[in-house]
Chain A
């Protein structure tokens, strides 16, 4: 079985400050981890993924995420938040032995205030 937890329903940050959106996971095999973003009235868009290699992965719009195997975490980060980053963020996990099925977290609403 696989699962994802996003412990924060809401994250509020001021524009220009660093942001972190947290994600922890559980899988039986090796994890493949993804972040997606959903802007208001728009579909989900892929941001970045961890498959193997460097624990720090970089993605779209200046976002990055750090894979931590010992803590089973994959937190999304950005050094300097923009108001336009305000959106709903989803973490997802796949087990490398279960290609088809992704498990998504419940989502975290990020609000960046000017």
Chain B
């Protein structure tokens, strides 16, 4: 079946511009996660959605970052007034359930470059 998809695959933007990154999770997966992976670094948790519950936003680095998940499926991560330190690969993942025992399935990522 189809995996997690993300778009765009690459995004180059000027400092100060807003960007939107999209994630389509695997059909039927109720949990959705966003991570950031900087060059040579591990994965930094950003935000987590589960169904209609309030998202866990504890990883968002600043109020310039926000995310939505519409209809329990597609999610959009928005970065306002981008800064050069926002340059990274943004990864989306989904899982069958929020239960801690379920593994996550990752998309290919969006590589964001802020110039």
A binds B: yes
Residues of A within 8 A of B (CB): 32, 34, 36, 42-46, 49, 51, 90, 92, 94-96, 98-107
User: Which of B20-28, B40-48, B60-68, B72-80 contacts its partner?
Assistant: B40-48
A102 to B104, CA, bound (A): 10
- Judged by a CB distance under 8 angstroms, whether B70 is at the interface is no
CB pair B104–A99 under 8 Å, yes or no, is: no
Q: How far is the CB of B12 from chain A (nearest CB, A)?
A: 18
Residues in A whose Cβ lies below 8 Å from that of B52: none
Nearest A-chain residue to B56, judged by Cβ = A100
Interface size class on chain B is 20 to 34
Query: B interface vs A, CB < 8 Å?
Result: 4, 31, 33, 35, 41-43, 45, 48, 50, 56, 58-59, 91, 93, 98-101, 103-109
Closest 3 A/B residue pairs (Cβ): A106-B42, A104-B43, A100-B48
Q: Which residues of B contact A100 (CB under 8 A)?
A: 31, 33, 48, 50, 56, 98
Residues of A within 8 A of B93 (CB): 44
A-B contact pairs, 17 of them (CB 8 A): A36-B106, A42-B108, A43-B91, A43-B108, A44-B93, A46-B105, A90-B43, A95-B100, A99-B98, A99-B99, A100-B33, A100-B50, A101-B45, A101-B48, A102-B33, A104-B43, A107-B42
In the bound complex, residues from chain B placing their C-beta under 8 Å from that of A101 are 45, 48, 56, 58-59
The residues of B that contact A51 with a CB separation of less than 8 Å are: 101
Instruction: Decide: A94 near B100, CB < 8 A? Known: A44-B91, A101-B48.
Output: yes
